[in-house]
Amino acid sequence: MDSQSYKPVPPGIGMEENLFSLDDILLSHERLPCRTESAFPRLGFLEKSSETRDIPEGTKMEMPLWLAKGLYERKRRVLSVELPKVYREGWRTVFGADPIVVDLHKMGPYYYGLGSQMLHFDSPENPEIANTILQTFIGRFRRTMDSSQNAYNEDTSALVERLDCLERSLFKAGQSGLNSFQLWEKGRSSHLTASSLVINYRKRKMTDLQA
């Protein structure tokens, strides 16, 4: 039996979410600037700055991503979602000039994940947002992986502090691959073993034969 008590579940890809992933759970609680397009009866307690019983139409407030997605409808305008500043035109220009200089963790830390989720909401800027996210990832990917491959047995805290959570996962994967290669080169790598899927398949096959 595997001694590891918890195996990290990877987040969803693009606009998809994996509700078993801790990263996606934390991402779903990122707060978005919203504006109510209709009154919300008896929900005034949700807005801390208001003392009224209802939330009137036109109220600007912040909502977690999961709630904004649940309330948002294209046909029936219940609320509109504004773009967080990091996805607006000004910051898109910065990313277009040199994405490497930006501290994504400070701006995010779920820059790619939240940006992908923003595409659920209708906006004329969605094509530009999607393109900026893609080009930012491409522009930073090589440096992230180069850093992971050139920091063997070193303190990497300074290298990862400016990375988004997705980039940190890639950096960790690069470090793991480098460590495995170094062990193999020194002849200390573990023996090849069959995949757990293959082992389980063999067990089921044996059970079927014995039945």
103, two tokens: 């501290």
For residue 51, the model assigns a pLDDT of 79
Does 177 reside within a domain? no
For residue 129, the model assigns a pLDDT of 96
Q: For residue 40, give the CATH number of its domain.
A: 1.20.58.2050
Q: How far apart are CA 198 and CA 30, in angstroms?
A: 40
Locate all alpha helices (DSSP H) within 61-125, ordered by sequence.
65-71, 89-97, 104-107, 111-118
At residue 200, φ and ψ (nearest 5 deg) are -65, -35
Of residues 156 and 113, more confidence is placed in 113
For residue 19, the model assigns a pLDDT of 80
Does 89 reside within a domain? no
Nearest to 25 by CA among 161, 122, 117: 117
Query: Which residue in this structure is represented by tokens 């709630």?
Result: 67
Does 185 reside within a domain? no
Average pLDDT over residues 60-68: 92
Answer yes or no: is pLDDT of 177 > 50.
Answer: yes
Of residues 190 and 150, more confidence is placed in 150
- pTM value is 0.78
Nearest to 11 by CA among 138, 103, 114: 114
* Structural domain count, the chain: 1
Average pLDDT over residues 26-43: 91
Q: How far apart are CA 31 and CA 20, in angstroms?
A: 20
Average pLDDT over residues 44-70: 87
Q: How far apart are CA 26 and CA 17, in angstroms?
A: 11
Does 123 reside within a domain? no
Domain that holds residue 53: 1-82
Does 55 reside within a domain? yes
For residue 1, the model assigns a pLDDT of 42
For residue 104, the model assigns a pLDDT of 93
Is there a contact between 160 and 171 (Cβ–Cβ < 8 Å)? yes
Does 28 reside within a domain? yes
Does 154 reside within a domain? no
> 156 vs 11, 99, 171, CA distance in Å?
23, 20, 10
Can you say whether the dihedral through the CA atoms of 164, 167, 172, 178 is positive or negative? Answer: negative
Does 143 reside within a domain? no
Average pLDDT over residues 16-22: 82
Helix (H, G, I), strand (E, B) or coil at 187: coil
Q: How far apart are CA 13 and CA 28, in angstroms?
A: 14
Bridging pattern class, strands 31-36 and 79-81 = antiparallel
Rounded mean pLDDT of the chain?
A: 85
200, two tokens: 């389980």
For residue 164, the model assigns a pLDDT of 92
Place 210 in a pLDDT band, splitting at 50, 70 and 90: low
